[in-house]
Structure 1
């Protein structure tokens, strides 16, 4: 009998915080891959690697191209299982893994979730022209032409109401997790036959703020505080100028709410798993991981903040657990595992098998900055937008970039999300060419040239969502 498989992405959850705050998921897990690493450091390239099993320079989704429509569905795990008769379902609160960037084209049915609107099937902007009254008239005509005037009107009202409520000292809503869970469960109920489902929860991603759903005992952040208010300034003061202590209060509050958000996700996702388990009579296997982690400006993070211009362990070391496995495997797996093997794992689980996806060596790559950086000097942009690569072998990690820098790190299997710098200007092992046959600088130049001259047009709703997430 074919098994349903659900890939759950806890966006921006690093391994050490998962271990500390996601105790329910850990208890549900049949298998935990303790040494799992993401293939990239931010959403677009990481999601593409999770689905294709290839690195960013191979699948082509990265800083200079964020359009998933350029991927062939047949080159993804979705296509693999579609050929076996599976229906591909998707729900995501991540703007980059959503309709705005063509992620939905890989699925049979997809819902992009915006926590600030009511009807998720009418969440994308209509792209109307004009200003004032003319823009309003054009908007009504466009919405009516889609047969969704009521839904679009309700969404505009909800969006404006959320802007007003955001000024209150108490926040009542999460960052889309409740809606994601509801929409994903609805898809399951409406699907006949086997399915593969991708579900992205954004509740551990910035902006962080106290709301009624999180455990108040896990933080001491005052009501009404939001990381969105000062996030952009703090991010670049820390990353460019090293001003960690000057921003200590902000960073401490951010970190407290980050941990509380992971605990909130733990409760929400376990409840979702239990609901799907009931709906499918236990014929579903779940793989829970994260697309990347988060730098929290600690020593092991290189005193960097957020997920940009880095391949630190805070970003790459992510949780990966299997719930309701079809066959027995060791509960704890301590060998290296990469997101590049998720495709193989999911196909095997769907067929009632449990493939060995551990590897002696693995690799990761980021081709440049995540979006939204607009105030860097040319020298700063050259540094922060560099291509970075990393390889692992046992407790050794090597990182190098398109500027010619090379660094070696020591890892400790007993300390998640941790690394210790042990040398600069080191020679790279010969085996790294197995993953990267080309030079890092050449690869960066090629990726930039492909996108040269293209300008992305972002609608008003998408722009507001990017600003919420700290990209603008």
Structure 2
């Protein structure tokens, strides 16, 4: 079997329960719905970590955070993947692939060294991080890239109001040009995108609200809503029910707009005649707590369903009929899935032992608060959550804590977790270092996204 073209798209911060392909009442993702009609939908997929940086590093290495060493951002370890750990892009490049990446997220690129192995890479602020020979950037793109630092410094915040209508559209247009250019070549192409419409702040276009029969916002509402949402994300205020409902409407409209951009990518693949034989992987790096759970609760809300349960749809080369997989799937299996085209998706992604997730709290920010490691083991029905100090919690299918005589079940999960942990490697220990020094542009963007105060 020849190596297929690969399209790998991470829809940043997309909750499984807000995706219409998984039953959400609003038609938030018609493109994903259509893709699921001819692809494999994993009903119980879980991220390796409930926030962007370690989750992406896990997908690109096939390792859990404790193995690759990228855990909670600033508190105890480096932000950069160790050179000794191979990324999936480096493997594909060695196998003869031409590779290009387009990222909406500052964590995903040169900051974390996820850009290793790419022939072309466009960063979150539209800087051309790795410049190849396919001429996918226009003269305007190159001028913007050359001046992006000065623009960010002048604006203090890197024009986040333009992030949605300009940055996302620009990245998808460049990816489309890449897909067309490489379709004429013999070597297979690997195309990666991170699109983050589902990550606050939210500025979806008015027609996305109209598509969902929602009331479009006025000129001031998006700025006011996002200011209040950021205060909630930073723990400075609550999210009242009426505001939460409107936030979810903005969230759903953002998904609808993003789905439109995903349709553009798939349409280009079809237009070039490369779709049928391509491997297409669409997932999310984590979910998002939007007032569903107490932000100060124990165990942390980041260990619960709204943060760890993600959509995952895979179209195999030449697949044209739908399949549903109920077994628990881990996004760490994406490494094997894309680097071994003959490996069946279920075999690459699923385990009868359940799926292991790791969380290190606090995630990011400059804080003297000690880091606590949490692990989650789920069989898609029950969820066992344990802290490194031994505190543990067991949740049932409804997400509620289990009470009564549940010791046999708790002991079974505890033993299964111990068995899984014993098999983990410690290759990421070399990632320990002093906290990174960030540029003012990246700091401003991370503040805007709620990662820094």
TM-score range, shorter chain: 0.7 to 0.9
Match of 1:234 in 2: 232
Per the alignment, in what secondary structure is the counterpart of residue 421 of structure 1? coil
Q: Name the counterpart of 2:128.
A: 121
2:378 paired with 1:392: yes
SS at match of 2:401: strand
Q: Give 5+ residue unaligned stretches, structure 2.
A: 131-141
Does the Cα contact within 8 Å between 2:101 and 2:193 map onto a contact in 1?
Answer: yes
* Partner residue of 2:35 out of 15, 22, 28: 28
Contact 1:56 1:365 in 2 (8 A): yes
Q: With the length of structure 2 as denominator, give the TM-score of the two structures.
A: 0.79
- The answer to whether structure 1 residue 270 and structure 2 residue 263 are counterparts is yes
Report how far residue 326 of structure 1 moved. 2.8
Q: Output aligned runs, 1:247-266, within 5 Å.
A: 247-266=240-259
1:333-348 → structure 2 map (5 Å cutoff): 333-348=325-340
Q: Bigger relative contact order, structure 1 or 2, given CA contacts below 8 A and separation 6+?
A: 2
Answering whether residue 52 of structure 2 is matched by residue 56 of structure 1, we say no
**Aligned match for 1:358, one of 340, 350, 353:** 350
Say whether 1:180 aligns with 2:180. no
CA apart distance, 1:288:
0.3
Shift of residue 95 of structure 1? 0.5
> In structure 1, what is the Cα distance between the partners aligned to 2:207 and 2:157?
19
Q: Indicate yes or no: 2:190 matched with 1:199.
A: no
Report the counterpart of residue 449 of structure 2 in structure 1. Answer: 469
Q: Is the 8 A contact 2:234 2:450 kept in 1?
A: no
Distance in 2 between residues matched to 1:111 and 1:277, nearest whole Å: 23
Report the Cα offset of residue 43 of structure 1. 0.8
* In structure 2, distance between residues paired with 1:399 and 1:165: 39
- Which ranges in structure 1 are unaligned for 5 or more consecutive residues? 124-147, 413-418
The equivalent of 2:91 in structure 1 is 80
- 2:80 counterpart residue number: 68
In structure 1, what is the equivalent of residue 8 of structure 2?
A: 7
Secondary structure of the residue aligned to 2:205 is coil
Query: 1:274: Cα distance to partner?
Result: 1.0
CA contact (8 A) 2:13 2:198 kept: yes
Number of aligned residue pairs: give it: 410
Q: Is the 8 A contact 1:296 1:304 kept in 2?
A: no
- The answer on whether the counterparts of 1:219 and 1:257 sit within 8 Å (CA) in structure 2 is no
Deviation, structure 1 residue 257: 0.8
2:219 to 220, 223, 232: 223
Which residue number corresponds to residue 320 of structure 1? 312
Which whole-Å CA distance do the structure 1 matches of 2:4 and 2:431 have between them? 40
Query: Deviation per CA, 1:360-381, whole angstroms, max 9, x where unpaired?
Result: 211100123222255xxx6xx3
1:6/1:197 contact within 8 Å kept: yes
Answer whether contact 1:6 1:285 (CA < 8 A) is retained: yes
Contact 1:309 1:369 (C-alpha < 8 Å) held by counterparts: no
**Partner Cα distance (2:88, 2:446) in 1:** 28
Q: Deviations over 1:424-455 (max 9, x none)?
A: 9954531212221399xxx9xx97x9746x13
Distance in 2, Cα, partners of 1:6 & 1:93:
16
Contact 2:102/2:175 (CA < 8 Å) preserved in 1? Answer: yes
Distance 1:411 1:253 in 2: 28
Q: Is the 8 A contact 2:110 2:129 kept in 1?
A: no
Determine helix, strand or coil for the equivalent of 1:218: coil
Alignment pair present for 1:293 and 2:287 = yes
For the 8 Å contact 1:33–1:337, the answer to whether it is kept is yes
Gap change, CA 1:18 and 1:394, over 3 Å in 2: closer
- The equivalent residue for 1:208 is 202
How far the C-alpha of 1:285 sits from its partner, in A, is: 2.2
> How far apart are the structure 1 equivalents of 2:366 and 2:230?
9
CA contact (8 A) 2:158 2:444 kept: no
Whole-angstrom CA distance in 1 between matches of 2:61 and 2:150 = 36
For residues 308 and 145 of structure 2, the distance between their equivalents in structure 1, rounded to whole angstroms, comes to 40
* Greater displacement, 360-369 / 276-285: 276-285
Instruction: Report the Cα distance in structure 1 between the residues aligned to 2:207 and 2:156, rounded to whole angstroms.
Output: 17
Alignment counterpart, residue 97 of structure 1, candidates 95, 108, 123: 108
| TM-superposed deviation, 1:69 | 4.2
Alignment map for 1:364-379 (pairs within 5 Å):
364-372=357-365, 374=367
Conserved in 2, the CA contact under 8 Å of 1:311 and 1:366?
yes
Contact 1:210 1:223 in 2 (8 A): no
Say which is worse superposed, 185-194 or 64-73, in terms of deviation.
64-73
Contact persistence 1:345–1:355 (CA under 8 A): no
